[in-house]
């Protein structure tokens, strides 16, 4: 290890001699992180590249400093930094930490250790476990692939870490970034035209924090997609057949909200099934794609049936995907899906695959079904079939549309119709 190079890197990432970029506040995440570490759990921050994880780490640091913590008690290090390639395993990590401990000013306090993109260091979980078991430091780790919580990590940190998923901006956060704050219902009514204009922008370009206030959104989304593919899919998964991976990824992104069958994809794209399976796993690990399992007519999970695919951000789906007709309906559905993931967790979301029709999203909680959502640009009777089947189970179902609201009577029951943007702001 080159000590001077490392010290330079440490100075660059930390608040010791200068401020770091903290951007617009994302307080919900910051609060969550602080509450996790203050009870001596490791906070594991996981989310697609450029969702804003590193910035949230800086926000946490800033909050701590504002509350009186010495900046030298906070140790932030980002392993994407090329100067840190010599830190490869857990021994190197201990050495790095020793260097930090030497330059710390106070010795009677507990340091805060932020390890960003830590999944690059083999066996890091051993280092973290030793810090947390001895209550020697508060620890936050972050990463942009599910490798952050792989099997080794889960074993080593069992019962000691809490996973915090970070997503691109929710519509509420998006409006914050635009400087539009909504304090109450009157604000919502008075500012409706503005909100709707912003909603159209959000629908087309999504919520990646680095994009929303830029005027070159398409270019930025293209480069962001490139970045995710090259670093978090191709390199991280050691993929050699890059062209095939690209074709497959593009296929999925162009098919958001559609049912997909790996066997058919394999045939259609002429990629061997095993390769399709492996590459699909890599795309999921990079938190770029999500797959949703169906519930059968008797509401049991059909884990081997056709899944539906969604993208982590509707802006990516719109700009990257190829579409024959501009398809705001599927962007709307994609956007609702990601919001449901934020609210309920991806493991609780299914679609209903009935005998005659489908319902887009069904939320399961433990063993019961909580509610269902049918998403449609315009309300129309075609969307009723699946809903009718679900009604016999007495599951509250809401229609989410672009611009209609009210109620509709189906089989003698009254169902709510909501505008998506109002629903997004309703919690």
Ligand X SMILES: Nc1ncnc2c1ncn2[C@@H]1O[C@H](COP(=O)(O)OP(=O)(O)O)[C@@H](O)[C@H]1O
Cβ contacts of 267 within 8 Å, gap of 6 or more: none
Closer CB to ligand X, 117 or 358, in the complex: 117
Q: Binding segment for ligand X among 4-12, 19-27, 152-160, 288-296 (CB under 6 A)?
A: 19-27
26 counts as binding ligand X under rule CB under 6 A = yes
**SS3 category, 161:** strand
Give the residue, chosen from 54, 59, 280, 376, that forms a contact with Mg ion under the rule CB under 5 A.
54
209 counts as binding ligand X under rule CB under 6 A = yes
Minimum CB distance to Mg ion, residue 59 (Å)? 13
287 counts as binding ligand X under rule CB under 6 A = no
Question: Six-digit token pair at 255?
Answer: 């098919």
Cβ contacts of 270 within 8 Å, gap of 6 or more: none
126 counts as binding ligand X under rule CB under 6 A = no
From CA 42, how far away is CA 128, in angstroms rounded? 8
Closer CB to ligand X, 213 or 277, in the complex: 213
From CA 261, how far away is CA 254, in angstroms rounded? 15
404 in Cβ contact with 366 (< 8 Å): no
54 counts as binding ligand X under rule CB under 6 A = yes
Closer CB to ligand X, 139 or 369, in the complex: 139
From CA 318, how far away is CA 330, in angstroms rounded? 9
Helix 90-103 and helix 124-133: axis angle, to 10°? 50
Give the residue, chosen from 42, 43, 46, 50, that forms a contact with ligand X under the rule CB under 6 A.
50
217 counts as binding ligand X under rule CB under 6 A = no
Helix (H) or strand (E) holding 65: helix 53-66
23 binds, among ligand X, Mg ion, none (CB under 5 to 8 A by kind): ligand X
In angstroms, what CA-CA distances link 406 with 44, 268, 294, 391, 398?
41, 43, 28, 18, 10
55 counts as binding Mg ion under rule CB under 5 A = no
From CA 78, how far away is CA 92, in angstroms rounded? 15
Minimum CB distance to ligand X, residue 49 (Å)? 5
Closer CB to Mg ion, 115 or 415, in the complex: 115
Q: Max Cα separation, the chain?
A: 75
44 counts as binding Mg ion under rule CB under 5 A = no
55 counts as binding ligand X under rule CB under 6 A = yes
Closer CB to ligand X, 52 or 315, in the complex: 52
Beta strands in 65-216 (DSSP E): 74-78, 112-116, 138-143, 161-165
Sign of the Cα torsion 254, 255, 257, 261 reads negative
Binding string, 382-401, against ligand X, x = CB under 6 A?
--------------------
Measured in whole angstroms, the distance separating CA 82 from the mean position of its chain's CA atoms is 25
53 counts as binding ligand X under rule CB under 6 A = yes
**SS3 category, 150:** coil
Place of tokens 């019962």: 159
23 counts as binding ligand X under rule CB under 6 A = yes
Give the residue, chosen from 13, 15, 46, 49, that forms a contact with ligand X under the rule CB under 6 A.
49
141 in Cβ contact with 42 (< 8 Å): yes
Give the residue, chosen from 30, 51, 245, 336, that forms a contact with ligand X under the rule CB under 6 A.
51
308 counts as binding ligand X under rule CB under 6 A = no
255 binds, among ligand X, Mg ion, none (CB under 5 to 8 A by kind): none
Tell me the number of residues near Mg ion by CB under 5 A. 2
Minimum CB distance to Mg ion, residue 53 (Å)? 5
Q: Which residues bind ligand X (CB under 6 A)?
A: 23-24, 26, 47, 49-55, 144, 209-210
Report the interface residues with Mg ion, using CB under 5 A: 53-54
């Amino acid at each position: 290890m080159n000590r001077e190079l490392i010290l330079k890197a440490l100075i660059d990432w930390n608040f010791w001699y200068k401020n770091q970029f903290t951007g617009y506040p994302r307080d919900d995440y910051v609060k969550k992180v602080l509450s996790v570490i203050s009870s001596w759990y490791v906070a594991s921050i996981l989310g697609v590249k450029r969702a804003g994880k590193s910035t949230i780490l800086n926000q946490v640091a800033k909050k701590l400093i504002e509350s009186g913590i010495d900046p030298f008690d906070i140790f932030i290090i980002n392993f994407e930094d090329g100067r840190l390639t010599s830190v490869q395993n857990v021994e190197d990590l201990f050495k790095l930490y020793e260097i930090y401990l030497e330059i710390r000013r106070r010795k009677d306090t507990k340091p805060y250790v932020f390890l960003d993109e830590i999944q690059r260091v083999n066996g890091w979980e051993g280092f973290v476990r030793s810090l947390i078991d001895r209550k020697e430091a508060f620890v936050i780790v972050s990463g942009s692939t599910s490798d952050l919580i792989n099997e080794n990590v889960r074993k080593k940190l069992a019962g000691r870490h809490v996973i915090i998923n970070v997503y691109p901006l929710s519509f509420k956060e998006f409006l914050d970034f635009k400087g539009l704050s909504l304090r109450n219902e009157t604000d919502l009514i008075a500012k409706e035209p503005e909100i709707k204009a912003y909603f159209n922008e959000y629908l087309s370009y999504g919520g990646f924090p680095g994009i929303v206030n830029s005027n070159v959104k398409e270019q930025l989304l293209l480069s962001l997609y490139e970045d995710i593919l090259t670093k978090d899919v191709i390199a991280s998964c050691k993929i050699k057949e890059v062209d095939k991976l690209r074709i497959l990824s593009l296929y999925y992104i162009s098919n958001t909200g559609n049912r997909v069958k790996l066997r058919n994809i394999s045939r259609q794209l002429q990629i061997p099934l095993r390769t399709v399976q492996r590459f699909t796993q890599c795309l999921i690990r990079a938190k770029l794609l999500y797959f949703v399992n169906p519930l059968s007519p008797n509401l049991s999970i059909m884990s081997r049936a056709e899944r539906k695919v969604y993208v982590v951000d509707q802006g990516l789906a719109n700009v990257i995907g190829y579409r024959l007709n501009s398809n705001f309906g599927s962007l709307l559905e994609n956007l609702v899906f990601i919001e449901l993931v934020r609210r309920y967790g991806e493991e609780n979301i299914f679609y209903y695959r009935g005998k005659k029709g489908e319902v887009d999203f069904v939320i399961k909680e433990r063993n019961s079904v909580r509610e269902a959502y049918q998403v449609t640009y315009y309300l129309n009777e075609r969307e009723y079939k699946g809903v009718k089947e679900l009604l016999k189970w007495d599951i509250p179902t809401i229609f989410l549309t672009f611009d209609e609201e009210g109620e509709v009577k189906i089989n003698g029951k009254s169902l709510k119709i909501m505008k998506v943007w109002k629903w997004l702001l309703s919690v």
